[in-house]
Structure 1
Amino acid sequence: MAADILCLGEPLVEFVREPDGRWRMGYGGDTSNAAIAAARQGASVGYLGALGADLFGDGVVAHWAEEGVDSATVRRDPDAPTGLNFVEPDPAARRFTYVRKGSAASRYGPGDLDHAAIGAARVLHLSGITLAVSPTLRAAGLAAMKTAREAGGAVSLDTNLRLALWGEEEARETLLGAARGADVLVTSIDDSEALFGMSDADGIADLWAGAGPGAVIVTMGERGCRIMAEGERRTIPPAPASPVDSTGAGDSFSGAFHAWRLETGDPFEAARRAAIVAAGTVSGYGATAPIPRREAVLAAL
């Protein structure tokens, strides 16, 4: 069965350093985190990308199966490894060490896309990391956006800036160009300060909306988020949280937002519920383990 939400990018095996100094293995990658968050809200979700034909890749596929994320459109590359990510958490920030050079996902290109699956999806979600990992993955992302728009689906872009992957000018030009093909854009105050020197949420929303997206969400950390959609602007306050690790908070927000928007038809209510998901995510360790499920979100309303 075709997935309602398709996420495109680089899945990673994640090692998180815990307070006692030990490393705990899990699974990450921003769009994979978003896919799992959406699935935990009850959405039909699939993934586009590549994994190595290795034990780490097997683990990612098994994890997706447990979470209800369809991996039928994921290519297994026998000649390249699955990427790894080492995370040192902090309540306000985190440090990443990536082992991803020559990864299977970095070799994924336009010829690997399943255009039928993209055309059948209601939402295609990708990120700045999708566009930064490699030239071939970037080309695949842009081609997938074109297919989704032509088929009448919605395209979602999370800027998720990582300047370790590309230069500031290249990131700014690429993301603004990609935003022209997006219907929903999610960004953060931090990303926009780095790219444009801007910290005013409404000004940031105006800038991105000028590129094309009809809905723009600016996440503001402990101040919640500012959403511009359907001719309105609203601030969604943060949900209660006990932050220990910010890894994956924005990813889980994006995935949950699309799941709830498809269900409720209301972007502002979807953002309110996504804020609950993000708050739960920062209250535990790892990118996906603490993501709240649908029942917990409904109970928190």
Structure 2
Amino acid sequence: MTQAARFVVFGEALTDFIRQPDGQWRAVAGGACWNVARVAARLGVPTGYAGSVSTDVFGQELYALTREAGLDMRFTQQVAKAPLLAMVTSTTPPDYFFIGDDSADLHFDPTRLPPDWLDEVQVLHFGCISLAREPLAPRLLQVAREASRAGRKIAFDPNWRKLMDNPGYRPLLRELLSLSHYVKVSDEDLGRLFAGDPTPLATLQALAPQAEILLTLGGQGMQWIKDGQVLRQPAYAVQVIDTVGCGDASMGGWIASLLRQPQAPAIAHLQCAAAAAALSAARAGAYAATWDEVQALIATGSSH
């Protein structure tokens, strides 16, 4: 029996349609928030994915894979609406658009969450396009507000996408940052979120004063930042197959480490984040590593 979730991830699950060099399309189950949930569960943390998927072939695959990942299925909803699709026309450079004007993800209903679900949960995660899509975004923000008032910790990965380039997203971004205890952001996201700002990291810190920040720098590794302290972690040396899902793996690895070994120093959590990302990069697609795999890579100490 699946343990009650200590970590719940709110946001989108979707199907990526990736254009291949021969012009064919390959359908892959994905979504940033769904990936984070799968990573944490694979790392041994009781996790729930709180989102809504369709009842068609795409939604059924997502639902089945959610169950297969060992996630707490009480949090995952299915509705008879169209699937959310991401059409990835190019991976290098990234180019994509979304299809889903009245899709299943927008019909997630927080009132259908399990009774007393907040009693067990320690950390709630939010992020990516779910926070830029109406009417879902304000519902998720309200969940974050209520959880914060109940003393739960909030994790946030803005994960910038084109949909966020609109005025309506800015107030939500600021409020969620103010509620957050853990913020993961890539150097690219930072530049997009605060375009034209000469000191985007300082701005982020000012908007999220209580948060620990995980700044990912691609092949240059990552940094943990809090109250003027900065810890640096080089990227672990692996044969890179692709970087799909690396950011989600680092987020899931970070939070899983915090929940599994809460007394460990910040550098231990940073190493888990980096190792989870590296192991994802070493496999095709959004690979979710096990705790033993992560610890084995950390033990090698092999970094760039």
TM over 0.5: yes
- Determine if the alignment matches structure 1 residue 223 to structure 2 residue 220: yes
The residue that corresponds to 2:281 in the other structure is 282
Distance in 2 of aligned mates of 1:8 and 1:121: 13
The residue that corresponds to 1:249 in the other structure is 246
The number of aligned residues is: 293
Distance in 2 of aligned mates of 1:256 and 1:36: 10
Q: Kindly provide the CA deviation profile for residues 210-254 of structure 1, in whole angstroms up to 9, marking residues without a partner as x.
A: 223321111111111121136621111111133332221111111
Q: Which residue among 164, 172, 175 is the counterpart of 1:174?
A: 172
Q: Which residue among 52, 66, 69 is the counterpart of 1:64?
A: 66
- Determine if the alignment matches structure 1 residue 106 to structure 2 residue 106: yes
Task: Say if 1:94 and 1:246, in contact at 8 Å, map to a contact too.
Answer: no
Distance in 2 of aligned mates of 1:220 and 1:13: 27
Letter in structure 1 aligned against 2:83: T
Task: Say if 2:106 and 2:136, in contact at 8 Å, map to a contact too.
Answer: yes
Q: CA deviation at 1:193?
A: 1.1
- Determine if the alignment matches structure 1 residue 292 to structure 2 residue 294: no
Alpha carbons of structure 1 residues 140 and 120: separation in structure 2 relative to 1, 3 Å: farther
Q: CA deviation at 1:42?
A: 0.8
Q: CA deviation at 1:3?
A: 0.2
Q: CA deviation at 1:122?
A: 0.7
Task: Say if 1:16 and 1:25, in contact at 8 Å, map to a contact too.
Answer: yes
Query: How do 1:80-229 and structure 2 match up within 5 A?
Result: 80-87=81-88, 90=91, 93-114=93-114, 116-134=116-134, 136-163=135-162, 165-197=163-195, 204-212=200-208, 213-229=210-226
Letter in structure 2 aligned against 1:107: H
TM-score, length basis structure 2: 0.86
Task: Say if 1:40 and 1:293, in contact at 8 Å, map to a contact too.
Answer: yes
The residue that corresponds to 2:49 in the other structure is 47
Alpha carbons of structure 1 residues 204 and 162: separation in structure 2 relative to 1, 3 Å: same
Alpha carbons of structure 1 residues 141 and 19: separation in structure 2 relative to 1, 3 Å: same
Q: Bigger relative contact order, structure 1 or 2, given CA contacts below 8 A and separation 6+?
A: 1
3-state SS of the aligned residue for 1:13? Answer: strand
Q: CA deviation at 1:277?
A: 1.1
Q: Kindly provide the CA deviation profile for residues 156-187 of structure 1, in whole angstroms up to 9, marking residues without a partner as x.
A: 01010112x13254434431221011111111
Q: Kindly provide the CA deviation profile for residues 35-84 of structure 1, in whole angstroms up to 9, marking residues without a partner as x.
A: 01111111111011111122221211110111111221222212x12212
Q: Kindly provide the CA deviation profile for residues 116-175 of structure 1, in whole angstroms up to 9, marking residues without a partner as x.
A: 3245311100104221122x2111211111122122211001010112x13254434431
Alpha carbons of structure 1 residues 204 and 241: separation in structure 2 relative to 1, 3 Å: farther
The residue that corresponds to 2:301 in the other structure is none
Distance in 1 of aligned mates of 2:74 and 2:23: 37
The alignment yields a C-alpha RMSD, in angstroms, of: 2.4
Distance in 2 of aligned mates of 1:21 and 1:218: 36
Letter in structure 1 aligned against 2:36: A
The residue that corresponds to 1:77 in the other structure is 79
Identity of aligned residues (%): 26
The residue that corresponds to 1:235 in the other structure is 232
Alpha carbons of structure 1 residues 70 and 82: separation in structure 2 relative to 1, 3 Å: farther
Task: Say if 1:119 and 1:153, in contact at 8 Å, map to a contact too.
Answer: no
Task: Say if 2:41 and 2:47, in contact at 8 Å, map to a contact too.
Answer: yes
3-state SS of the aligned residue for 2:275? Answer: helix
3-state SS of the aligned residue for 2:179? Answer: coil
Letter in structure 1 aligned against 2:218: G
Q: Kindly provide the CA deviation profile for residues 239-298 of structure 1, in whole angstroms up to 9, marking residues without a partner as x.
A: 113333222111111111100111122333112111111112223322x3x232222111
Q: Which residue among 13, 16, 21 is the counterpart of 1:14?
A: 16
Alpha carbons of structure 1 residues 39 and 17: separation in structure 2 relative to 1, 3 Å: farther
